[in-house]
Amino acid sequence: MNGFNNHEINEGGLKHSVSPCSCWTIGLVNVDSKRYLTAETFGFKINANGASLKKKQLWTLEPSTNNSLLSDGPTTTIRLRSHLDKYLAVDTFGNVTCDGDDPTDPGTVFQVSVTDGNSGSWALKNVVRGYFLGASSDNLKCTAKAAGSSELWLVHLAARPQVNLRSVGRKRFAHLSENLDEIHVDANIPWGEDTLFTLELRPDDDFKYAIHTCNNKYLSRDGKLVDTCTSNCLFSLEYHSAGSLALRDKVGGYLSPIGSKALLKTRSQTVTKDELFTLEDSLPQASFIAALNSKYVSVKQGVDVTANQDEISDHETFQLEFDPSTKRWYIRTMQDRYWTLETGGGIQAVADKKSSNALFELAWQGDGSVCFRANNGKYVSTKRSGHLYANVDAIDDACKYFFYLINRPILVLKCDQGFVGYKSSSGLRLECNKASYETIQVERSDKGIVFFKGQTNKYWHANDEGVSVESDVPEGFFIELREPTRICIKSVTGYYLSAGKNGMFKLGDGDYNNATKWEY
C-alpha cells in the first residue's frame, strides 16, 4: 500500500533513490458520518459507509494539471481513482459515478481546498458542475453550492507511514539534531536512523498527524521535541501540486525549515516552496557483525570491506537495494559505492555503478544470522585479518553475519489484514487487523537479537496464543529482510511471528514458507 514512485536524483554529488509521490494513496473520511468513501467490488457502486480503511476504501489521488505551487495556496485540482481503476466523476445532472476509465473526462476533475480553522478537512468541488462532493445516507451527492459538514472530508494517508522527509525549497532531508532535541532540514542524503520519521495518524484527533522521531519523541510546532504528543504536535495534511504536502498546526502556521540551522518549526501562515515537503520511501539500511570476531563490517579504512569495528557509525551502515530480476541485493555505502566481488574473491566498496559482481544473495540461517553469496557462487567469509573474501563453498561460522535493521529503531508492521495494533484501547494484546498502527520500539542486543517494546515501556511476550505487551523481561527476536519492503520476525526459540485468522498475531511454526512477510 505504497503509492510512491521511485526515481533517482543527484544532490551534492550523491545519487539517492527517492519517491516523488506525485500520486497519493489515501482514504477519505466524511466529517459528518465519520465513514470512508467506498468503491464496492461489484456494479461500480459507491457510498460513504466504510467503517475502516481496507482495499475498497483506497483511492489514488492524481494531479490533473500542473498548477503553480505559489498562485493558489492550498488549492489544486485532482482526480480520484478507485481500487478498480475507475474514476470518480460527476455527470451533467449532478449524479456521482465511478465506472469510467477515461482520465480526460472533465467530470472527473475536482478542486481541493482546505478549510479554515483547526479541522484541516478538505472540500472537493467538481470543476465542471461547480458544486461540492458530499455524502447522504447511502449515496454520494454533488449538489451543494457551499461546503457543509457532509461535504467535508478528512484524509487518511495510506502509504507506508515511515518515511524520509525532504524539503522542496531547500532540497535537503530532515534529520535529528546532534543534541537530539530538534529536527534540522540540511542533510544531502537520508542516512541512518536519525533521518527516519513516522507520520503518525491520530484518528481521534480529526485524523491529524504527528511527526514521531526515532528517539521516540514528537515534534512540537515551536520546533522542540517532546515526550508526549499534545495538541501542539498535531498537524493537518494539505495536498499541493506535484504531490508535495504542507503541514499546518492548530493556529494555522505551516512547518518549514527556519534560519541557518534549517530548524523545522511553524511560522508562516501561507504556503510557498519553503513550506512544501515530499514523503520519500526509506530504503532498508543495515549493519552486520561477523560471527567469527564479533566486529562490525566497515569501510572506514578505505575501499576494503573489513569486519574490524566495535561501534556503528555511517561507515558501518549500508543501504540494501533489491534487484527484482535476480532476487539479489546491492549493498551501498554512504560514499555512494557498492560492495563488489573483485578478482581473487576479495570484497571491496569500489563500484560506482551497479554490475553483476555487485549483487549478493542473502541466505538466512537458523540462528538468525545471514550469509552473503557472491556472483561467483561462493559465500563471503571473514578472514583472521577481518577482510571479507568470497571463496567458500560450504557455510561455516566464518560465513555468518548478524543483522541489524539500523534505520528502523521504531517499527510499524502491516500484513494483508491490516496493521499491528492493540486489540482494544485499554488492552495489552496485539492484533494484526487494525486500521491504525502501534509504533513499536526496537532495542538492539547481542548477536543480531532485538527486543520489542511498546509505548508503555513493557516488552513483548509471545507464544502460540498471541503477543501481549506486559513483560518486564525482554524476549529476543531476529529480523530477516526477505523482500524490499517486507521482513520476517523469528523468536530466538526458532518460531516465526504469523498472522492468523481474524487478526490473530502469534508465534507460528519454524518454517519460513509458512511465515508472514510483514510490511514494515
User: Would you call 148 helix, strand, or coil by DSSP?
Assistant: coil
Mean pLDDT, residues 326-337 taken together? 95
What pLDDT is stored for residue 117 in this prediction?
61
pLDDT at residue 22 tops 80? no
pLDDT at residue 20 tops 70? no
- 436 pLDDT band, cuts 50/70/90, is confident
Calpha distance 509→356 (Å, rounded)? 35
Calpha distance 139→94 (Å, rounded)? 12
> How many C-beta atoms surround the C-beta of residue 236 within 10 A?
26
What 8-state DSSP symbol labels residue 429?
B
What pLDDT is stored for residue 206 in this prediction?
86
* Cβ neighbours of residue 344 closer than 8 Å, sequence gap 6 or more: 389
> How many C-beta atoms surround the C-beta of residue 60 within 10 A?
18
In this structure, of 169-178, 415-424, 470-479, 505-514, the range with the lowest mean pLDDT score is: 415-424
pLDDT at residue 2 tops 60? no
pLDDT at residue 417 tops 90? no
What pLDDT is stored for residue 17 in this prediction?
38
Higher pLDDT, 417 or 171: 171
What pLDDT is stored for residue 68 in this prediction?
37
What pLDDT is stored for residue 160 in this prediction?
76
228, 331, 433 from 395: Cα distances, Å: 48, 20, 39
- 75 pLDDT band, cuts 50/70/90, is low
What pLDDT is stored for residue 375 in this prediction?
97
Average pLDDT, the chain: 90
Mean pLDDT, residues 454-477 taken together? 94
What pLDDT is stored for residue 116 in this prediction?
67
Mean pLDDT, residues 205-221 taken together? 94
Calpha distance 152→29 (Å, rounded)? 8
Residue with cell string 481496507:
54
pLDDT at residue 516 tops 50? yes
**CB-side exposure of 207: number of CA atoms within 13 Å?**
25
Q: Are 36 and 51 in contact (CB under 8 A)?
A: yes
